[in-house]
Structure 1
Amino acid sequence: MTKTGADRLADALATLGVEVAFGLPGVHNLPVWEALAGRRLIGVRHEQTAGYAADGYARATGKLGVALVTTGPGAANTLGAVGEAQASGSPVLVIATDIPSTLRKPGVVRGVLHETSDQAALFEPVTKGTFTAGTADEIAAVVLEAAALALRPQSGPVYVGIPTDLLRKPAGEIGAVPVPEPLPVPSEVDIQRARESLAAAERPLVWAGGGALRAGAGAEIGALAERLGAPVVTTFAARGLLGQAHPCLAPNPVHAPEVGALWDRADVVLGIGTDFDGLMTQNWLMPPPPKLLVVNIDAEDAAKNYPPDLTLVGDAREVTARLAEGLPRKAPPPLDDLKSQVRHRIETEEPQAAVFLDALAELDPGTVVVADMCVAGYWAGGFHRVREPRTFVYPMGWGTLGFGFPASLGAAASGARTVCVTGDGGFLYGCGDLATLAQERLPLTVLVVDDGGYGMLRFDQDQEGVAHRGVDLDTPDFVALARSFGIPAGRVEGFGAEFRAKWTELTAAAGPNVLVVGAALRPPVNTSPRWHRKGAK
């Protein structure tokens, strides 16, 4: 039987080992749905959900996330999600149809249904690359090439556009998967220079970022830190890199003055897989360390914020392992008092947050927590004791409100029990995809912390002494809304005993459910209005 362009698209995804994709059908991409019959293509209710779900899946698994959407507005609806994936280095492949090639007139927008003057150009600022198939024969090769680019460190999203008429045309053989180019390797001379600086350091500090987690460098970083006797600070994107029992893991976040002092006292900082972004450094008001060594796959990325004394360009796991060779093992850093100080800060500043964080810590191993841009999410992002890599997902690359629920659909689609932490405002961005949650019966608990509006923005206005404007929201009965989709749901007030009982019940369940908690939490120190370094806001 003759294969069509849509068939070859499906074959390319199978060759890549794609087990699940997220999409929304449209008149232009129906052949793709036909070609993927019998494979797992999860239909969502908004294209932005497809992008976020693909991102959540990619972060929870380390695999390629795939979003399949239709032409024009369908493709454009993914842009917010794609921007977050780009900022967080998440390997997402967006495949969108475009108007028929036979109706395209170069340089002229003729008014074809869903026509955009240059659809690929919409994606150029928020992707690693854009591709457009010119013939049916090119579809598979373009998809394979785009996927290879998305997965290559530093990973990120890639766009593929396919004129809709090519999906039904005959297509030739699929071709081979591109062979990955070898990653750069630092010289032994530079490795030895870095090793000597680290060995001579009296107060070394390791700062590990998302690139370290994506490279799977946790064991190597832990071993190096033990040899150096160095505390390890992890960024939002690297939470879970080291196990909570590791003797060198400093408590999060570095925004807490007690933890930030580790940076201030360090005589040598080793940054691994990080760009020292504004959110982590309080807009670069952390002073440059006396000596900065960096490991990064991209030298420009490594140097754009704090000029390093030495850059080792290469894979974080391999370079870190080489750095540890021959170094004697030192005593672990004294961190117990620091951990107690951070815990005391939580209990003093917001006792309800302490209870909430304890509930997160008691989740079964392997449970993935996905947090939104909300006050409860900020507490989780800063202080949740993440036990394993890829079990905490947080949108602090671009900072996209409304990320939590749709991204948690993708994480749960991997098969992992998942908990979404969202607020009433952010949940309303995508609550229509409760239909997707019900349809797929995903293992997901959605925790909606309802403070009647945008609690973080309300705090900002209070700090400035102005009236609340635009931040207090009329919201639905979330429990009734969830139950209308056939999803079990309940509500409690505050993070007390009733919450703990309901939380234990729902997070142990096999299928989907929703728990609404009526509570207004004070924002933690990792939110910009509370940054302690002067002038940081």
Structure 2
Amino acid sequence: MTGTQDRGERIGGDLVLESLVALGATGAVGLPGQHALGLFDAFRRVDLPYLGARVENNAGFMADGLARVSGTVAPLLLSTGPGALTSLAALQEAAASSIPVLAISAQVPVAGLGGGRHGYLHELPDQSASFRGVVKHVRTVRTLEQIVPAMREAWVAAASAPTGPVLVEIPQDVLLEAADRIPAPRELSTSVTALAPQAELIERAAELLAAAERPAILAGGGVMRAGEAAQTALVRVAELAAAPVVTTVGGKGAFPPAHPLSAAGWIEDIATTELLEGADVLLIIGSGLGELSSNYHTFAPQGTVIQIEADLGKIASNHAGLGIHADAALALAALAEELSAANAEQPKPLDAAIAHASDLKSTVVARLDAQSLEHERGFLAALRDAVPDAVDSCWDMTIAAYWAWSCWDAREGRFASAQGSGGLGYGLPAAIGMAFGHRVSGDAAPVLAVSGDGGALYGIAELATLAQEKLPVTWCIVDDGGYGVLREYMEGAFGAATATELARPDYVQLAASFGVAGVQVAVEDAGDAIAEALASGEPRVVVVRTHLDLFAPTHLDRVN
């Protein structure tokens, strides 16, 4: 450690936290380390709520959850080397799901940057290089005067379309340097220019939709990130275009599930794929049509594709069509106005579109009925009934989540899943971050986390965080004795599974050792146990020992 400061003296770490407050941060998540001590010492002088994790990757997932609840950039405070690198998987998920996380990592002293002076603990020749393939922006601070501008620059980069994670590195000696010569920032501009659509492209899209005989809409996560205005405009566009609406996993909640034009979100089912493929005009909003959204790249649209997307790199990257680089809310509002004008004389009837949506859902139910999946469907239905409409849920990579991707009715609560990059361990820490976000906003709302026993072991250390913070998170662990998804995949591909079976703890006793109440219940009692746990307002663990099967998503002859 280099240098010491008098207790209470403002230092570089104060400038970092003061900048976060001035930028509008509602809280911060992190884990201290030797080179980052100046950053964490500043919490004694700066009023910013802090959530401490036990593992940096979990801290990254917590920041993800905080960002989703706060609706703004979430700070993630890290140390150097091993600490910083451990966060990369969580930042990859944030990048894949366009979640604005501002990672602030300590660095070795300035003299050691770039290998200038070797031998520092945690030293890497180029730490930022490890992040450049994951985050959208990197800045290395070298002087005290650079802290505030660098923080503002990074915040705006994270919040600008396409939103996503960024990194700011600050050397240890800069964090510890006396900062009294630099006034604390009071308010920093975070204005982000919204991506307005090109008018002639909106006009062309409206012409195509107005003339379409079998239009359809696929709504993705971009609609959710664009907020209530985008979701309201989407309903209007669907009604004006007379188009059934399918939602992706990230787009759950983008369209009211009870609306007669809702075709739900069974995006892995062949019937959904065929409805979208059969559209003579397909409007895609806020989705790059990646692996899951395209039914594992088997999707082959037959009509004209219109794609509204804030991430320029995703436009027409998988399917050619009319690309509109714009914010979903602005584009949908403009499209609704154009369609309204086009429909002024003769509105399009909704009967056929409503019938298409209803027929699709009936077809999916019939296909499920033929697969003897009553156990799985009953479990997910009981979970859905147990969770109040406004409660957020966070899902790990587990068979229950694979079901929820398609069948979960998001209603008013957020639906968050690790499907963006597919890393294990997301469920519990993301839910903790969400619950923390609710708390700092003055809300005591409970949050549901769902994990398999394999994914649970990734986040088990955060039971300590849950107990310490007393956050109202109910953690449902579906225990089938191993990596259930991989087991099914291997048995299907090779006839037997290898390396998927796991020794695991007694989760109820383990939770109790942390001071968190837990219960193990039979699958038929899971709904009641979850409802009781959520209503308690306390951290709870509910273990359900059962085996769930995946549903057959598609015909074998469509798989590449």
Identify whether the pair has TM-score above 0.5, normalized to the shorter chain.
yes
- What residue identity is the alignment partner of 1:304? S
Q: Which of 87, 93, 104 is equivalent to 2:96?
A: 87
Q: After superposition, what is the alpha-carbon deviation per residue over 1:15-39, rounded to whole angstroms, capped at 9, x for unaligned?
A: 1221221111112112222212353
1:306 aligned residue: 319
| More divergent stretch after superposition (144-153 vs 108-117) | 108-117
| More divergent stretch after superposition (341-350 vs 6-15) | 341-350
Alignment pair present for 1:197 and 2:208: yes
2:400 aligned residue: 376
1:157 aligned residue: 165
- State the distance in 2 between where 1:411 and 1:112 align: 36
2:539 aligned residue: 512
Distance 1:272 1:158, change over 3 A: same
Q: After superposition, what is the alpha-carbon deviation per residue over 1:483-516, rounded to whole angstroms, capped at 9, x for unaligned?
A: 11111100013x21x2233222112110110000
| More divergent stretch after superposition (327-336 vs 254-263) | 327-336
How far off its partner does 1:105 sit? 6.0
Q: After superposition, what is the alpha-carbon deviation per residue over 1:121-162, rounded to whole angstroms, capped at 9, x for unaligned?
A: 111000011111111121122111101100111100001100
Matches within 5 A, 1:252-267: 252-267=265-280
Alignment pair present for 1:212 and 2:223: yes
1:322 aligned residue: 334
1:110 is paired with a residue of what secondary structure? coil
- State the distance in 1 between where 2:499 and 2:147 align: 46
1:248 is paired with a residue of what secondary structure? coil
1:146 aligned residue: 154
Matches within 5 A, 1:411-450: 411-415=434-438, 416-450=445-479
- State the distance in 1 between where 2:312 and 2:100 align: 20
1:173 aligned residue: 183
Distance 1:107 1:505, change over 3 A: closer
2:130 is paired with a residue of what secondary structure? helix
Tell me if structure 2 keeps the 8 A contact 1:60–1:393: no
Distance 1:532 1:174, change over 3 A: farther
1:534 is paired with a residue of what secondary structure? helix
Tell me if structure 2 keeps the 8 A contact 1:269–1:289: no
2:258 aligned residue: 245
Tell me if structure 2 keeps the 8 A contact 1:299–1:311: no
How far off its partner does 1:454 sit? 0.7
1:407 aligned residue: 430
- State the distance in 2 between where 1:87 and 1:77 align: 17
- Runs (4 or more) in structure 1 with deviation over 6 Å come to none
Structure 1: runs of 5+ lacking an equivalent:
none
Tell me if structure 2 keeps the 8 A contact 1:346–1:353: no
- State the distance in 1 between where 2:433 and 2:394 align: 10
2:268 is paired with a residue of what secondary structure? coil
- What residue identity is the alignment partner of 2:104? I
How far off its partner does 1:43 sit? 1.1
Tell me if structure 2 keeps the 8 A contact 1:285–1:533: no
Distance 1:377 1:109, change over 3 A: farther
Tell me if structure 1 keeps the 8 A contact 2:475–2:542: yes
1:472 aligned residue: 501
Q: After superposition, what is the alpha-carbon deviation per residue over 1:83-139, rounded to whole angstroms, capped at 9, x for unaligned?
A: 11111111011111000113x164456121110111111110000111111111211
Q: Which of 34, 38, 60 is equivalent to 1:31?
A: 38
Distance 1:333 1:109, change over 3 A: farther
1:271 aligned residue: 284
- What residue identity is the alignment partner of 1:267? D
> TM-score, length-normalised on structure 2?
0.90
Tell me if structure 1 keeps the 8 A contact 2:61–2:90: yes
Distance 1:180 1:18, change over 3 A: closer
Structure 2: runs of 5+ lacking an equivalent:
1-7, 439-444
Aligned residues: 528
> TM-score, length-normalised on structure 1?
0.94
Distance 1:106 1:357, change over 3 A: closer
Q: After superposition, what is the alpha-carbon deviation per residue over 1:49-86, rounded to whole angstroms, capped at 9, x for unaligned?
A: 11111012212332212211111110001001111111
How far off its partner does 1:395 sit? 1.1
2:216 is paired with a residue of what secondary structure? strand
Tell me if structure 2 keeps the 8 A contact 1:359–1:500: yes
- State the distance in 1 between where 2:163 and 2:107 align: 25
Distance 1:129 1:299, change over 3 A: closer
How far off its partner does 1:344 sit? 4.4
Distance 1:278 1:55, change over 3 A: same
- What residue identity is the alignment partner of 1:387? R
1:241 is paired with a residue of what secondary structure? coil
- State the distance in 1 between where 2:300 and 2:490 align: 29
- State the distance in 2 between where 1:181 and 1:427 align: 38
Alignment pair present for 1:484 and 2:513: yes
- What residue identity is the alignment partner of 2:284? G
How far off its partner does 1:275 sit? 0.8
Q: After superposition, what is the alpha-carbon deviation per residue over 1:159-203, rounded to whole angstroms, capped at 9, x for unaligned?
A: 110001111213323556345353343333222211111000000
| More divergent stretch after superposition (132-141 vs 344-353) | 344-353
- State the distance in 2 between where 1:220 and 1:533 align: 37
How far off its partner does 1:254 sit? 2.0
Tell me if structure 2 keeps the 8 A contact 1:371–1:381: no
- State the distance in 1 between where 2:91 and 2:191 align: 23
